[in-house]
Structure 1
Amino acid sequence: MSEVKKIATRESYGNALTALGEAHKDVVVLDADLAAATKTGVFQKAFPERHIDCGIAECNMMTVAAGISTTGKVPFASTFAMFAAGRAFEQVRNSIGYPHLNVKIGATHAGISVGEDGASHQCNEDIALMRTIPGMVILNPADDVEAKACVEAAYKHEGPVYMRFGRLAVPVINDQPDYKFEIGKAITLREGTDATIIATGLPVSACLEVAERLEKEGKSVGVINMHTIKPIDLEAVAEAAKTGKIITVEEHSIIGGLGGAVCEAVAASGDAKVLRVGIEDVFGESGPAVELIKKYGLDADGIYEKVKAFI
């Protein structure tokens, strides 16, 4: 059996921006002295005149992006999730969200898988923060294919978009000829009757593995890839609720992220029990990314145990 191809979605972001820049002259990329890490350095090399290094001044970068968007350009403001959603929250809210400007935010190094950089850089709260901003679209791709598609979709969307990318290489699972990315439309990867896993980002591939393991034990578990957190696909959630049990899985706090969004949707229109799997109400810690994912129960084994106990 051949080894599964793995690519970090931050790599996909850099490559997608470069392809976008070749096709569209109005694309401008901003970075906060992190071009090598966010991978916007690829775009910088190809289009130096359309790449702006704002230095370690993320708040200023967001306002610069806001200004550029009013000239008809489409700016992609790029930095770590902790700085994009955390440090620059006020500027994103007041200078981008409030006037509903056409700014795209590329937030890399999200979640616990940032690894050795530790709790100060492991942003497990960014989705929750961005969800509170009216009109903000939130995209959290699961792999290389989806990350590139989400960058293209963000460009075509008129209005602010927050894109979430990871540092760790993840399996490519969407390399199918019929794959289609559409903002606000979840993708059903497996059908199930006993329960449904709704996952986003890094853990999606692990959730597929969990469903396959449970199938061998006589349990039918569906898997939905919820790449858009806002606007969430209410129809997909309602369909999942028909199985009676939903498990949300995210590399993010269980407070305010995918789990919160699904619970809100189920409370409004569904009749299902929901188990939220993610980072509990704790900060992360420094350590190898793979080990941290295992410790915080977001690997296939950890998810399997929680899902099996729940159903």
Structure 2
Amino acid sequence: MSATTEKKPRLTTSAMIASIASEGQRVKAAPFGKALVDLAAARPDIVGMTADLAKYTDLHLFAQAYPDRFFQMGMAEQVLVAAAGGMAKEGFVPFATTYAVFGTRRAFDFVHQVIAEENLNVKLCCALPGLTTGYGPSHQACEDLALMRSIPNMMVIDPCDALEIEQAVPAIAAHQGPVYMRLLRGQVPLVLDEYDYQFELGKAKLLRDGKDVLLISSGILTMRALEVAKSLDEIGVGAAVLHVPTLKPLDTQTIVREARREGRLVVVAENHSEIGGLGEAVATALLSEGVAPRFRRIALPDAFLDAGALPTLHDRYGISSAAITSSVKGWLD
């Protein structure tokens, strides 16, 4: 290096661990890992297992607290799932973590045959669900809910924020049978505490009411829906938000009851492909009950998505707060 050459700092990407929190938004660190550590103190049957991703699913906190109950299976998701099934057969309650693309796409047959067919008590908790990473199709799990909803015996959970993850961990541990839960890791937004929220398996919750629009959502799109509702308030549009954290079994009764109210546009918003997710589940439920409101969907396209920065991608694919607000306004005109 010459004397006149400056050494520039190395540029790195944060696409894999980028937070979904907006600037200045309240967050809690590692809610899943901390909740599992707390629960395991009174539950010696709980074990933690991962496919070389403890740090990136917050399971490293469990490994530090209970090293004798932590199992690192390496980069072998099929082995992870099969071993978790074996643990469940021996009376343990395994919480198995990896990225959602690997736990669902790569290990699908093992989840289907080893865990679900025998109705084993395995909790599969998978990070980077939907469009929560900018690493492109290899890491964007845009089909995970469709895959897991299609498996008999499988309960499917899509939590919104840190509070819900904290509440969901003991709830799914108490449930007897296999569970797939989407996992938010790292600095996770905190929003539901403002709504006196309590997670219940299989229950949808009306977070706020409104006379003009009903936003039905799950996961991080509930956070966005709440932001959209506040924006619509400013122009005199009343927007209700119905949060649906359990996609299977679906709380059809609550969804139908809210969609039956006359005069409201019903919009389903999800961080998932338009194929096989919450939108199709809600549409089927309404059609089956003979309910036909004005109905629209916000979802990721049936396509391989781009790589890039998350804010840019969320705008591009219509799931940012601004994009959703614009879509809803257009449908109301």
Question: Scaled by the length of structure 1, what TM-score is found?
Answer: 0.94
Hey, what does 2:292 align to over in structure 1? 271
Hey, what does 1:143 align to over in structure 2? 161
Hey, what does 1:120 align to over in structure 2? 138
State how far apart, in whole Å, the 2-side matches of 1:28 and 1:175 are: 29
Amino acid of the structure 2 residue aligned with 1:122: Q
State how far apart, in whole Å, the 2-side matches of 1:211 and 1:170 are: 21
Q: Which moved more, 1:88-97 or 1:284-293?
A: 284-293
Hey, what does 2:226 align to over in structure 1? 208
State how far apart, in whole Å, the 2-side matches of 1:199 and 1:187 are: 10
2:87 pairs with 1:68: yes
Hey, what does 2:47 align to over in structure 1? 28
Hey, what does 1:240 align to over in structure 2? 258
| Larger Rg belongs to | 2
Q: Once the two structures are superposed, what CA deviation does each residue of 1:232-274 show, in whole Å capped at 9, x if it has no partner?
A: 1112211221244311111111110111111111111122232
State how far apart, in whole Å, the 2-side matches of 1:176 and 1:68 are: 39
2:309 pairs with 1:291: no
> Taking structure 1 as reference, are residues 177 and 111 closer, same or farther at Cα in structure 2, changes over 3 Å only?
closer
Hey, what does 2:149 align to over in structure 1? 131
Hey, what does 1:92 align to over in structure 2? 111
The Cα of 1:178 is off from its aligned counterpart by: 3.7
State how far apart, in whole Å, the 2-side matches of 1:180 and 1:158 are: 20
Amino acid of the structure 2 residue aligned with 1:59: Q
SS in 1 for 2:132: helix
- Structure 1 runs not aligned, ≥5 long: none
RMSD (Å), alpha carbons: 1.7
Count of residue pairs brought into register by the alignment: 307
2:286 pairs with 1:254: no
> Taking structure 1 as reference, are residues 177 and 209 closer, same or farther at Cα in structure 2, changes over 3 Å only?
closer
State how far apart, in whole Å, the 2-side matches of 1:291 and 1:113 are: 12
Greater per-residue helix proportion: 1
Sequence identity of aligned pairs in percent?
38
Q: Once the two structures are superposed, what CA deviation does each residue of 1:40-87 show, in whole Å capped at 9, x if it has no partner?
A: 011001101101011111011111111110111100111000011110
> Taking structure 1 as reference, are residues 105 and 113 closer, same or farther at Cα in structure 2, changes over 3 Å only?
same
Amino acid of the structure 2 residue aligned with 1:292: L
Q: 1:5 aligns with which of 9, 13, 26?
A: 26
Write out the 4+ residue segments of structure 1 that deviate beyond 6 Å after TM superposition.
none
